[in-house]
Amino acid sequence: MRAYIEDLKKHVGSEVEIRGWIYNRRVKGKIAFVLVRDGSGVVQCVGVRGEIGDERFAICDKAPQESSVVVSGVVRADERSPGGVELGIRDIRVLAEAAPNYPIQIQDVVPEVGFLMQNRHLWLRSRKQAALLRIRAEVIRGIQEFFDSRGFMRVDSPIITPAACEGTTNLFEINYFDEKAYLTQSGQLYAEAAAMALGRVYCFGPTFRAEKSKTRKHLTEFWMVEPEVAFLELDGLMELAEQFVSHLVQRCLERRKEELKVLERDTTKLEKVAPPFHRMHYNDAVEKIRKEGLEFPWGEDLGAPHEEAVTKGFDKPVMVHRYPAAVKAFYMQPDPQDAKHALCVDVLAPEGYGEIIGGSQRIHDFALLERRIEEHKLPRSAFEWYLDLRKYGAVPHSGFGLGVERTVAWIAGTEHIRECIPFPRMLYKIYP
């Protein structure tokens, strides 16, 4: 019977057939220990020369790493093994022998990261990278489940857009049948239109920034989920954000225990992530940054070191709200208490991971929005439809964007977000 490795524990005592690839091996005299992976897991297959014969033993001993194989054997409980089982080989067959020079040999010296990125299509087969992909898939499932179970409708926003949401710098331009168009930076404006139609919506898809930065936190192509809710104000948005982030973390803790272990993540830190998160006014954030010994002029946006200073001492994300309007996007509703500030919030992950969410209440007043579009020198004609949303049935509304890769990096405890997306696009890098 064909079985996947992740299901082997259900078949202890039975003979099964698995299909996969040789991942690693160790031979001790007449016994071969072959690690086989099939995408669902890795299992140790044990072959005894006297039982399986010379030909099969030679396969166990010599077939190059990544050769594809079909293995039959009896599942045995084994507490020391990762999945709690091992397979006693009865038959092993090579489907296709791998070339002997597999670039990412399992060895003591870890290859240089540039080399691994160039071989990303093969690197994905390694244990840690596969674990990261599984955590990413779990985060995406969590995103959908959270919103789908709370009455939100998924509404996909377009990728090809005629205008820039936050100005035209950092945009990839495309030739659209001889018209100028851009790759979207955010689906928000479209999500706003959809929220006026369906009440509670979210869009989820790839977004693009042509930034010439090479930091470990930047990708030119990354995935973002953006909920948008009619009749929601900043306080409600912060509640939604802390529930959402907690849901994602707790879901991964429940369902991706094995993967977090492979990645050597200290999960005690994640266990604490539950509402409420600490709320900190921008002015208080400035004070804390200075108390931590950094110089920081009031009025600027936070950089990575400032975010780290703000979250220091907190074991949960911190929600910094009411940034100065001047450093934020044109569409943000001003604080009625003090119009210098915007009704916005950034959620900063602890342990130095920094911003994972940016959100705000949006301007619902037609005249104010019109003025802002003018002040920001945005092309009015491209925003006529966006202004329409205030002409016909304006309501207070709010939304945020959560970056998938940054969230995965934090949950997985991985420094580089380029490992949190299957095929990263970075400055000058689009292969494979």
Binding characters for a second copy, 377-406, by CB under 8 A (x = yes): -----x--xx-xxxxxxxx-----------
Q: How far is residue 297's CA from residue 285's CA, in Å, rounded to a whole number?
A: 12
Does the footprint of a second copy cover residue 298 (CB under 8 A)? no
Q: Which of 30, 53, 113, 231 binds a second copy (CB under 8 A)?
A: 231
What tokens appear for 28 in the block? 């001790």
**3-state SS assignment for residue 142:** helix
42, 45, 183, 409: which one binds a second copy (CB under 8 A): 183
12 forms part of the interface with a second copy (CB under 8 A): no
Q: Which of 3, 8, 66, 362 touches a second copy (CB under 8 A)? A: 66
Options 15, 24, 31, 102; binder of a second copy; rule CB under 8 A: 102
Question: What is the C-alpha separation between 416 and 426, in angstroms, rounded?
Answer: 12
262 part of the interface to a second copy, by CB under 8 A: no
Contact set for a second copy, span 313-342 (CB under 8 A): none
Distance in angstroms (rounded) separating the CA atoms of residues 276 and 232: 18
165 or 320, CB closer to a second copy? 165
Of the listed pieces 79-87, 117-125, 350-358, 410-418, which binds a second copy according to CB under 8 A? 117-125
Judging by DSSP bridges, how do beta strands 153-154 and 200-208 pair with one another?
A: parallel
Q: Which is nearer to a second copy, 190 or 282 (CB)?
A: 190
Least Cβ distance, residue 143 to a second copy (angstroms): 10
Closest contact distance (angstroms) between CB of 422 and a second copy is: 5
Closest CA to 345 of 281, 275, 300: 281
Farthest-apart Cα atoms in the chain, separation: 86
Handedness of CA 62, 67, 69, 74 (dihedral sign): positive
CA distances from 175 to 218, 221, 222, 264, 427 (A): 25, 18, 21, 45, 20
Shortest Cβ distance from residue 374 to a second copy (Å)? Answer: 19
Size of the site for a second copy (CB under 8 A): 93
DSSP helix/strand/coil, 193 = helix
Which stretches of 15-163 are DSSP H helices?
49-62, 113-118, 120-123, 127-148
Backbone φ, ψ for residue 31 (5° rounding): -120, 130
Give the length of the chain.
Answer: 432
**257 contributes a contact to a second copy by CB under 8 A:** no
DSSP bridge partners of 78:
none
Strands 179-183 vs 160-161: parallel, antiparallel or unpaired: antiparallel
Among 27, 48, 124, 253, binds a second copy (CB under 8 A): 124
Residue 206 sits in the site that holds a second copy (CB under 8 A): yes
Contact 343, 322 (CB under 8 A): yes
Integer angstrom CA distances of residue 141 from 147, 157, 242: 10, 19, 18
Is 423 a binder of a second copy (CB under 8 A)?
Answer: yes
Q: Which parts of 77-96 interact with a second copy (CB under 8 A)?
A: 95-96
Residue of the chain from 44, 157, 246, 361 that contacts a second copy (CB under 8 A): 157
Considering only residues 11, 62, 90, 141, which one is a binding residue for a second copy as defined by CB under 8 A?
A: 141
The residue with tokens 């509404």 is 155
Q: Which stretch binds a second copy (CB under 8 A): 48-56, 75-83, 188-196, 240-248?
A: 188-196
146 binds a second copy (CB under 8 A): no
Quick one: which of 3, 35, 36, 38 contacts a second copy (CB under 8 A)?
Answer: 38
CA distances (Å), origin 115, targets 102, 121, 128, 353 = 13, 12, 16, 25
Is there binding between residue 177 and a second copy (CB under 8 A)? yes
For residues 33 and 25, the answer to whether their CB atoms sit within 8 Å is: yes
Question: Counting contacts by CB under 8 A, is residue 119 touching a second copy?
Answer: yes
- If the CB atoms of residues 161 and 407 are measured against a second copy, the closer one turns out to be 161
The contacts of residue 10 (CB under 8 Å, 6+ apart) are none
Q: How far is the CB of 113 from a second copy (least distance, A)?
A: 17
Q: How far is the CB of 304 from a second copy (least distance, A)?
A: 23
Our finding on whether 308 is near a second copy (CB under 8 A) is no
Cβ proximity to a second copy: between 122 and 274 the closer is 122
Q: Is 196 in the site for a second copy (CB under 8 A)?
A: yes
Task: Tell me whether residue 53 or residue 393 sits nearer to a second copy (CB atom).
Answer: 393
Cα distance between residue 381 and residue 391, in whole Å? 15
368 binds a second copy (CB under 8 A): no
